[in-house]
Structure 1
């Protein structure tokens, strides 16, 4: 059985239309349904620790939640409190969905 989602860490050109671009630019990218690919830039400093170390690391969980949002069909949010906001700061984490995130996913996937 094949996986529906493929998560990987890459550098430079790795066979899709979006090469990883090195430090402090695009941290990761994912493709809208039905591709299922989520690619972290391997040149970035990543951590899952809370609190994050004071070394310029990016929160792999926060970025992953944002990218999974794209896999589900979400676009970026203008709300700086939202997980789907396009800018992530090193040393910070955001792991709780904001009202804007919840409203966006409910709009895409309404209940019965």
Structure 2
């Protein structure tokens, strides 16, 4: 099921058709450690603020449990990401993310926590 869904986006066979689908695929990228995908789907104007090594460490040091989409618009996604941190303590990452469609591709711009 993963390959028929987010796997298509993570291996860059297809581009995510909406901001919500991009958010779901980025969650999958965190869960699987696909850091290149996270960098490639971050808007080019914001990539300098995202350190590949830090993304990799954070993604791999947590056990990702599930994603809950709370609200969406064409360019925003509000969500909770549930995970266990490196001490196996349950955590919830809440974020209101902004996305931008550019040249037919969606990109993550930023998020408010």
What TM-score, normalized to structure 2? 0.29
More strand by share: 2
Would you tell me which structure has more helix in proportion to its own residues?
A: 2
Higher relative contact order (CA 8 A, sep 6+): 2
Larger-gyration structure (1/2):
1
The two structures have a TM-score, normalised by structure 1, of 0.29
